[in-house]
Amino acid sequence: EPETIEVLRSGSTAAWRLEGVGPEGAAIIARRLPAARAAAARAVYERLLARLPIQRRRYYGWGADGAGFVWLFFAEASD
């Protein structure tokens, strides 16, 4: 259960910051995207970026919401 939820962006491509649900209480960013757009984003994170030796924010995974949208979960970007 998140300690706090902050709306970062609303609409069909919404994003929320979920405080306290990541490793060691870190924040997680949850993005809600239309399924087709999320499929492209998932491919980038799961197939392309995962194989490159570059620093990037951690991708935790995804889940469908049954309404034609998909949630993608990321570590909060650090400075």
Q: Tell me the residue range of the domain where 24 lies.
A: 4-75
Q: Residue 30 in contact with residue 15, Cβ under 8 Å?
A: yes
- Amino acid present at 68: G
Could you count the other beta carbons within 10 Å of the beta carbon of residue 38? 19
Total number of domains in the chain: 1
Q: Taking the CB of residue 57, how many other CB atoms lie within 10 A of it?
A: 13
Residue 19, domain CATH: 3.30.200.20
- Whether 16 shows a pLDDT value over 90: the answer reads yes
pTM summary value: 0.78
pLDDT exceeds 80 at position 26: yes
Task: Provide the 3-class DSSP secondary structure of residue 41.
Answer: helix
pLDDT tens per residue, range 54-76: 666 788 889 998 888 999 998 88
